[in-house]
Amino acid sequence: MRLVRYGEAGKEKPGLIDEEFHLRDLSGEIDDLAGATLSRAGLDKLRQLNPKSLPKADPSHRIGPCVGGVGTFIAVGLNYADHAKESGMDIPKEPILFSKAVSSISGPLDDILLPRGSQKLDWEVEFAIVIGEEALYVSEDAALDHVAGFCLCNDVSERAFQAERGGQWIKGKSFPGFGPLGPWLVTPEEFEDVQAVDLWLDVNGERMQTGSTSTMIFGVKTLVSYISQFMRLMPGDVITTGTPPGVGMGMTPQRFLKAGDIVTLGGTHLGEQRQVVQAVEG
C-alpha cells in the first residue's frame, strides 16, 4: 500500500494511492495515519479495503508528511562509508544517532526555509523507517515485525549550526522544513528487498546524489534492533537512516543551498519530493 496524508498543514486527512495513482480518501475509515492505525492489525484492516470503493479526493490538495503524531524523530549519521569519507570522518563501529525536532517535519512539496544567519544549508536524501509496533530490546530477526513502512526523507542540514556552534547536531537539523517526509508511506510488502532501494537527489536539475540502501553500513534490521536497546520505539516514530555521498559539504569547493534553489529527490517505490528554498521573512 501507498498511504498518504493530504490537506492543509496541521489538518491533514488520511488517504491511499490506488494502482492507477488516484488519491483516495480514507477519512471515513480512520482518523489519521498515526498510532494504532500503523500497527500490524491496523494496516491489515486497510489492506482488506477495496481502494476503488473509497471516494476519490481532489489531487490538487497539498500532500502532507505521510505519518502523523510522530513522537520521536531519530536520525543516523555517517551510515554510508562514502559519505563518512567525504565528511572527513571515520567509518563508525556502531550507529551514530541524533535527534531532529518533530517540528521540523514537513510535507514533500513544502518549502525548505533558509534560517536567519544560515551560510551552509545542505541536502541529504534518505530512506526512512516508520515504526508500527512498540519496540524495546527487539532482535534483528524480529525487527521488521515492528515496522509499519518506509518513506523518503530529506534530512536538510545547516552545517554551520550543526558543527560550528557547539553542542549536539540537533541544532543544525531541526529548523522548520528540515524534515520533509513522503509523499507516501510504503508498506513493507511493496519492497522485494529494503536493502536494494535506489536513491537520488538533484539541485536545480543537476544530479548531486546517487546511491542505494545496499551500501548502508548498518541495515534496517540492525538499526531498529540497535535503537531499541536504548529506548522504547513507539508507533509513528521515524528513523531516517543516513545519506549516500554527494552532499554539498563534501564537494570541492563546498556548495550550499540558497534562496530560490529547487531540490528534487526520489527513490525506488518511494515517490518523489520537490522543495523550493525560501528565506525566512523578517
Task: Give the phi and the psi of residue 138 in degrees, each rounded to 5.
Answer: -85, 140
Which pLDDT score is estimated for 282? 62
Which pLDDT score is estimated for 37? 97
pTM of the model: 0.97
Which pLDDT score is estimated for 58? 94
Preceding amide of 180 cis, omega within 30: no
Cell reading at 187 = 508498506
Looking at every residue in the chain, the average pLDDT score rounds to: 96
Which pLDDT score is estimated for 59? 92
In the chain, the DSSP E strands lie at 2-6, 13-17, 23-25, 73-77, 96-99, 105-106, 112-114, 121-122, 125-131, 147-154, 157-158, 179-180, 185-186, 198-203, 206-212, 238-240, 262-267, 271-279
Residues of the chain predicted below pLDDT 70: 282
Which pLDDT score is estimated for 83? 80
Write the pLDDT tens digit of every residue in 118-133.
Answer: 999 999 999 999 999 9
Which pLDDT score is estimated for 249? 94
Write the pLDDT tens digit of every residue in 17-42.
Answer: 999 999 999 999 999 999 999 999 99
SS3 assignment, position 174:
coil
